[in-house]
Amino acid sequence: MTALLMASVLTSLNVNAQTSLDPPLESKAITERIPLDPDIDLWQTATPLQVPLAWQNTTKPMLLGPSISDLTLRSMNNGTWIGFLIEWKDPTRDSTVLHTEDFRDSVAIAMPVLDEPQPPFLGMGESDKPVNILHWRSDWQQDIDSRLQELEDANPNLWVSYYPFADTASLESIPPVANFSQAFVTGWAANNPLSNPFKETPVEDLVAEGFGTLTTQKSQDVIGRGTWDEEGWNVVIARPLATSDPSDAQLQPGGLKKISFAVWEGSANEVDGKKSFSNWHTLSVAGRGAIDGESAAQMVEGADGVFLFWREIVIGVVFLFSIAVLIIAVSPKFYRRAKA
């Protein structure tokens, strides 16, 4: 069955069957931080690889004809982190999903979790052969770049006089969803990452073992940033080469990994299996890149303020709080009060 599906995918790819001879995607070794900003010149020093895309017509919903035809890929690593720059032509920017008829532009990377000679089935992996998926979404990017997109952004004349269970400081405006009791914002209450109003990264870290099995990972280890110019999208996706998460694909300097890509065109209502995707390509992670004496969190340029620093912030706050308690405890005033 899998072999049959695989064969069909390959036929539908309309690409040269001798894909193993395709040039690999070279992840260039650098000694700088991985730039999170796609516009930084350093990216241009990495060799681009243009990969052709096919339309997914193995499982429903299908894409029945050509859409986005190819992606231009670049990769760099510094021995600790790896980054990918993915660029494609898209004259329409679809980064809002506030109407029933709105669909987002997005792009994803898939890599097998296990290192086996035969990569898993290209369509979302197969059981016991999971794929790690890193999915960047344009609407999440817009949320992060400005603020969470709210209903009233798409419906400026919206007026609701009363919401129960909402912190309505003023009747003059519709409160942001974060002011509502989480229990009644069902997707958020169910911990659905799409519904969480507090987005930390535009990229989601997922794992799948076949069609319909895509699952958010417990440990989110990916960051990214995407920008749109009139011509299309430029998206950086970055993560540590190695993580301690067993659902992640593990990479190492000097190593090889199978990698594939998928992209969705929002204005064509592309979603889920209705997508353009690439065959498996080989990612070749060049060695020698390294920065001495810097912590992993500093391996990415421009990642300040994203989730990587949360732990540091928490530790810092706890530390300052302990100091404050100590100071109060040893102050003579405190003792005088306590005695009285």
Partner 1 sequence: MEIPEGEKMTRVNNWQLRREMDYPYKESRPDRQFAAVFNINRCIGCQTCTMACKSTWTFNKGQEHMWWNNVETKPFGGYPQHWDVKLLEKLGPQKWEKGEGDSGKTYQGKTIFEAAPKGEVALGYLPEDKEWRFPNIYEDTSTPWKDKATLPSHDTFFFYLQRICNHCTYPACAAACPRKAIYKRKEDGIVLIDQERCRGYRKCVEQCPYKKPMYNPQTRISEKCIACYPRVEQDTVTRCIAACVGKIRLQGWINLPEKIEADNPMDYLVHVAKVALPSYPQFGTEPNVFYIPPRWVPRGYLKQLFGPGVENAIERYSDPDPDLLGLLQLFGTTQQIIEKFRVTEKDAIGYDAHKREIIRVPLEDPIVIRPPIYHNIT
Residues found near partner 1 in the complex (CB under 8 A): 4-5, 7-8, 11-12, 57-64, 97-101, 139, 150-151, 154, 158, 160, 163-166, 174-175, 177, 180, 184-192, 194-195, 211-212, 214, 269, 271-274
Query: Whose Cβ is closer to partner 1: residue 7's or residue 317's?
Result: 7
Q: Closest distance between partner 1 and the C-beta of residue 177, in Å? A: 5
Q: Closest distance between partner 1 and the C-beta of residue 9, in Å? A: 9
Q: How far is CA 295 from CA 55, 81, 265, in A?
A: 41, 11, 37
- Find the angle CA(125)-CA(131)-CA(132) to the nearest 5 degrees: 155
Q: Closest distance between partner 1 and the C-beta of residue 300, in Å? A: 27
Q: Closest distance between partner 1 and the C-beta of residue 271, in Å? A: 5
Query: Whose Cβ is closer to partner 1: residue 48's or residue 61's?
Result: 61
Query: Whose Cβ is closer to partner 1: residue 27's or residue 141's?
Result: 141
Nearest to 249 by CA among 82, 127, 133: 133
Which residues lie below 8 Å from residue 151, measured CB to CB, with a gap of 6+? Answer: 98, 158, 174, 177
Query: Whose Cβ is closer to partner 1: residue 196's or residue 282's?
Result: 196
Query: Whose Cβ is closer to partner 1: residue 48's or residue 175's?
Result: 175
Q: How many residues does the chain have?
A: 340
Query: Whose Cβ is closer to partner 1: residue 99's or residue 333's?
Result: 99
Q: Closest distance between partner 1 and the C-beta of residue 47, in Å? A: 34
Q: Closest distance between partner 1 and the C-beta of residue 103, in Å? A: 8
Query: Whose Cβ is closer to partner 1: residue 195's or residue 220's?
Result: 195
Q: Closest distance between partner 1 and the C-beta of residue 207, in Å? A: 14
Q: Closest distance between partner 1 and the C-beta of residue 161, in Å? A: 11
Query: Whose Cβ is closer to partner 1: residue 28's or residue 275's?
Result: 275
Per the listing, tokens 């260039």 go with: 28
Q: Is the peptide bond before 120 cis (omega within 30 degrees of 0)?
A: no
